[in-house]
Amino acid sequence: MTSVTAFGQTGPRSTVGKPAAEPIASDANRAVSPVVASRASSPSATPVDLSARPPRPADAIQSMKNAKLIFVKSHSLLVGQSVIESKLRNRKEFQQLGLMITRDEAAADLILEVKHDVFTKYVFTAIDPSNNVVVASGKLSSLGGTVAGKVAKRFMKQVLKARTQPGP
């Protein structure tokens, strides 16, 4: 029996003497340590001891109430990460709530992402990294002010609203 290869060559087709294909490992079979984790999106991230952290809340409002460390990620060439960080730190609510900016994505309680949508539109999203739940978001225009300033203002407005709601 002969077959034609991708390069147009012919040759005998036989499986005799060839090793059997190895089974594909599933995610369920892999050993994962519940205590130490690192984020795949950050190649330079060091493992973080998650046992030292308080238990993660299950809903968006609790995530916003408990958040202390915020990691800012900008996917826009026009709005830099450091500019957004500066605008956040300069807001009085940010300081009053005792929030802090971190450069370690794995240590963050919230990840604030900013993306350029279309033309003058920008979208920001706050994500709880423990469960990838979106806890805050908004869309804004770059017209009539700086994008970083508007992101900081609207994000902090949502944080304040969550923290003033009654509940545990």
Domains of the chain, first to last: 59-164 (3.40.50.11830)
pLDDT at 90: 96
Q: What is the pLDDT of residue 53?
A: 59
Task: Tell me what pLDDT residue 166 has.
Answer: 84
Instruction: State the pLDDT at residue 57.
Output: 55
- CB-CB contact of 48 with 107 (8 Å): yes
Which pLDDT value is given to residue 50? 56
Report pLDDT for 59: 83
Query: Cα 53–135–149 angle (5° rounding)?
Result: 105
pTM for this prediction: 0.65
- 80 three-class SS: coil
pLDDT per residue, tens digit, the chain (168 aa), is: 554 444 455 545 544 554 444 444 444 444 444 444 444 444 555 665 656 655 555 688 899 999 999 999 999 988 999 999 999 999 999 999 999 999 999 999 999 999 999 888 999 999 999 999 999 999 999 998 899 999 999 999 999 999 998 876
Tokens representing 58 are 């299950």
Task: List the one residue out of 57, 94, 70, 65 whose CA is nearest residue 165.
Answer: 65
Output the pLDDT for position 21: 46
Residue type, 86: S
CA-angle at 72, arms to 67 and 78, nearest 5°: 150
